[in-house]
Amino acid sequence: MANVNLKINNIPVTVPEGTTILEAARKANVVIPTLCYLKDVNCVGSCRMCLVEATGARGLVAACVYPVAEGMEVQTNTEKCRKSRKMSLELLLSKHKKSCLSCERAGNCELQRLSVEYDCDPNYFETDPNLDHPIDVSAPYVVRDRDKCINCTRCVATCKSQHVGAIGPIGRGYVSHIGSAFEMSLMESVCVGCGQCIVACPVGALYERTTVDEVWAAIADKTKKVVFFTAPSVRATLGEAFGLPVGTNVEGKMVAAIRKLGSGIEVFNMDVTADLTIMEEANELLNRIQTGGVMPMFTSCCPGWVKFVEQKYPEMIPHLSTCKSPQEMFGGLLKTYYCEKNGIDPKDLYVVSVIPCTAKKYECKRPEMNGEVDAAITTRELARMIKTAGINFKDLKKEPFDDPFATCSGGGTIFGATGGVMEAALRVAAKTLDGDFEVVDFPEVRGAVPIKEATYKVAGKTIRVAVASGLGNAAEIIEGIKKGTRHYDFVEIMACPGGCVNGGGQPTLPDEIRNSKNLKELRAKALYKSDKKNSIRLSSESPVIDTIYGEYFGAPNSHKAHEVLHTSYKADPRI
């Protein structure tokens, strides 16, 4: 591909043919403001914030969609550009509910930031008198406030890429807005609760259904014993909410901060039930292979993915592992084994999971989960609690997790990255089939590639695997299996692209960071680095897992294990 030479604000730049002005400007370290643009998700040029002057064009052009040309000269900061952007912002503000002080995104809102930078008058244009639509709080995971929406369509593009399509544009012209088909609520729609729309939204039109007040109430209740447990990926992302670089592992500070939220709080490591999931799942897989069970077997640790299957591909439900997710396994373990061991009435134990996604909020409310997790809070919600408590996160000294759920293996650590569940399961399955099998790393299933495939030969058996992240890629795998063009034994699916490190409950970062850094790669790197340092890297060799089976479950897939650690799923067809 030929290169193109141009100048941006008189800075010479050379980029490949087909590059947009916005991409070329980034190479020249020139920032062009955007609202509707989101790298790899949405590029439609509708917000008009990125308008620039370019030679050869009759008027201002949208930098996010306009390609560069040889000899082009671009000016991004002329009076004409600034006036146009300011007017676009003030027009958006006229149709935007300006309740900034009570907004979830206050201080972290792209519209707010740009309005301040361009010295906008929020009342320059008369405010739309129809900004009084009810807030959609029907779902236990996502809240939608139509009056804060700026019609950037980033959420629509995200939902479409997820092969869900729960939201889209309704109406035309001035009355056009984003909503679900037939104006139904999110809970009635095909939404699976993955929360990717939240992290894509530049304003506060979409946010998680918070349970923070309930958690604070439990902490204040002297009759309750409160315990927290944190998902593997949270340690690699929580620091971002406090200004630390993307991919900083803050495990020790995170544990210390949670303990300071209230007296007597214990903090456990969800890596333990990630390992427990692997023990149950790997043995279930081997049993299916040996007895001719339904194949391929799909992982079931992602509730957004499970809901997607129940709604869109109910005929594939028998392929799902019967294992609960690590979150629900921990809830079951705490309300049974932990309570019995410590003489606690399960009704007096308040269990809080800290998770990277919003679908887990829905999962813990499913009736078949028996309310074993009382509250699921996102990484964002935990960060807000820490700030509310006046804790100086950066200056905290590291503290370890509490026993008996502190020690972990590398199997659980890498669950937060796409391919992590597969790799952890392969380690155990390979060791079980061939006791002399020494390979611990399975690099073929690592990385943020949307679909990864590999074939392994272990103890004379061929195991064909696939890993997919993002529900659009999951649909591609399912359609291939149904057509007979894809053949696997074991398939890992994560609803969020890149896995839990890129979950819908992770910190919402400024567009400039999201559009310039590979968040999935940097966050996953922190988990693999931690895994590499672990002295125990197989779930089957964890002393905590040995204790749990020795004292309570007996063996993987035992009758008691099935009562506490396994579940079933049912079809849930939607319009």
User: Is 363 an active-site residue?
Assistant: yes
Among residues 121, 31, 19, 29, the alpha carbon closest in space to that of 72 is found at: 19
Dmax (CA) for the chain in angstroms is 78
* Contact predicate 164/131, CB 8 Å: no
Run of H or E residues at 451: strand 451-458
φ, ψ of residue 155 in degrees (nearest 5): -65, -35
Place of tokens 């989101």: 38
- In angstroms, rounded to a whole number, what is the distance separating the alpha carbons of residues 254 and 366? 28
Set 110, 240, 284, 423: catalytic member: 284
User: Is 368 an active-site residue?
Assistant: yes
User: Is 328 an active-site residue?
Assistant: no
Question: What is the per-residue burial (b if ≥16 Cβ within 10 Å, else e) of 12-29?
Answer: ebebeeebbbbbbbbebe
Set 148, 225, 360, 361: catalytic member: 360
- In angstroms, rounded to a whole number, what is the distance separating the alpha carbons of residues 30 and 558? 61
Run of H or E residues at 390: none
Among residues 62, 43, 140, the alpha carbon closest in space to that of 361 is found at: 140
Q: CA of 440: how far to CAs of 133, 464, 570, in Å?
A: 55, 17, 36
User: Is 301 an active-site residue?
Assistant: yes
φ, ψ of residue 5 in degrees (nearest 5): -105, 130
Place of tokens 């333990």: 272
* Contact predicate 566/322, CB 8 Å: yes
Set 233, 300, 321, 540: catalytic member: 321
Pinpoint the alpha helices (H) of 350-396. Answer: 359-363, 379-388
User: Is 360 an active-site residue?
Assistant: yes
Both tokens of 565, joined, read: 């650690």
Residues with Cβ within 8 Å of 280's Cβ and at least 6 positions away in sequence, in order, are: 323, 329, 556, 557, 561, 565, 566
Set 17, 70, 340, 368: catalytic member: 368
Question: What Rg do the C-alpha atoms of the chain give, in angstroms?
Answer: 25
* Contact predicate 564/432, CB 8 Å: no
Residues with Cβ within 8 Å of 156's Cβ and at least 6 positions away in sequence, in order, are: 167, 168, 169, 178
Going 69 to 75 to 76 to 80, the CA torsion angle's sign is negative
User: Is 453 an active-site residue?
Assistant: no
449 Cα distance to chain centroid: 16
Catalytic residues: 281, 284, 301, 321, 360, 363, 368, 500
